[in-house]
A = this chain, B = another copy of it.
Amino acid sequence: MEIADRILKGDRRAVARLISMVEDSDPLAVEALGILHPHTGKAHIIGITGPPGAGKSTLVDRLVKSYLLLNKRIGIIAVDPSSPFTGGAILGDRIRMSDLNTEPNVFIRSMGTRGHLGGLSRATGDAVKILDAFGMDKIIIETVGAGQSEVEIASHAHTTILVEMPGLGDDIQTIKAGIMEIGDIFVINKADRQGADRTEMELRAMLELSDAGEWTPPILRTIASNSDGIVALRDGIESHLVYLKSSGKLDILNHQRTREEFLSILGGEISKIILDKVMDGSKLDALVARILKREIDPYKAACDCIREFSENR
């Protein structure tokens, strides 16, 4: 398919176009993704998340510049799961202002939820794939927030970085407790602000509560605005990659991820077939009306529908 070939030949506009297609759940994207698939699996995928105001965008900006000095090619996907209606425009604008936009070795894309969160997670996974096939060495997924949405999106990453800042209220810290376990590296950004020691102490206390594996997540301090600590962060990320490879964890992660991706694609394809072939809109509406009138329960209705599906194939 033409668009996939153009991506493999290095055409940036084709990359942007195919990402839009996966965002719109364009059925034509599937074929292109199939062609790109053999060219994927080489990139190191890095997730960066944390509360708004922690300075993630600046941190990503400096980290990318630091990788550019090593001649790496970097993809950035800025995801805003809290913007279901604005399409991530706020985050997008922030990113668009960056001077990284003119770098030939950088590709930046912002994504918001156009529909369901599940849709965003899958579109993010597809965007990672596209940038991987495009030849990016590192793909950074930046998300805003500290909730379940971020956990789902982080599941695409090999290395997940949680960014904190000193002096966040107790409430926010409490919420964050829930996602501690996904962090491979912790960063206290704006570390020149008051309270950095306390934040580090709290992080350490929480880390001690969680199950210690073979990898001990480091707690790093940065002042992204003047590039303090950025090289140490880059080194930390690379150390984690070395650990993932040497321990065999990278293979396990990739297997898990591919398995989940496959099952999600499978579910999506089946739903499409059912909505296209077994149930047209009016038939579905009639069935829903029967469920609403309590003539049939939705579980029985689903079983009937599955029977019809297999008889019609």
Name A residues whose Cβ lies closer than 8 Å to a Cβ of B.
30-31, 33-35, 37-38, 40-41, 52-53, 80-86, 90, 113, 116-118, 120, 144-149, 151-152, 169, 171-172, 174-175, 177-181, 254-255, 258-259, 261-263, 265-267, 269-271, 273-275, 284-285, 287-289, 291-292, 294, 297-303, 305-307, 309-311, 313
Contacts and interface: CB of A to CB of B under 8 A. Distances in A.
Contact of A298 (B80, B172, B265): B265
A267 B271 contact: yes
- Chain A interface mostly helix, strand, loop or mixed? helix
Contacts of A172: 52
Contacts of A175: 52, 82-83, 144-145
A248 B230 CA distance: 57
A37 B295 CA distance: 9
Nearest to A80: B178
What's the number of copies of this chain in the assembled complex?
2
Contacts of A81: 147-148
13 contacts: A33-B299, A41-B294, A82-B175, A84-B151, A85-B179, A90-B174, A116-B152, A254-B292, A255-B288, A259-B284, A259-B288, A265-B302, A266-B302
B147 A181 contact: no
A153 to B, nearest CB: 10
A152 B145 CA distance: 16
A210 to B, nearest CB: 8
Contact of A302 (B38, B258, B269): B269
A178 B83 contact: yes
B53 A273 contact: no
Contact of A303 (B116, B269, B303): B269
Given A254-B292, A306-B273, A301 B262 contact: yes
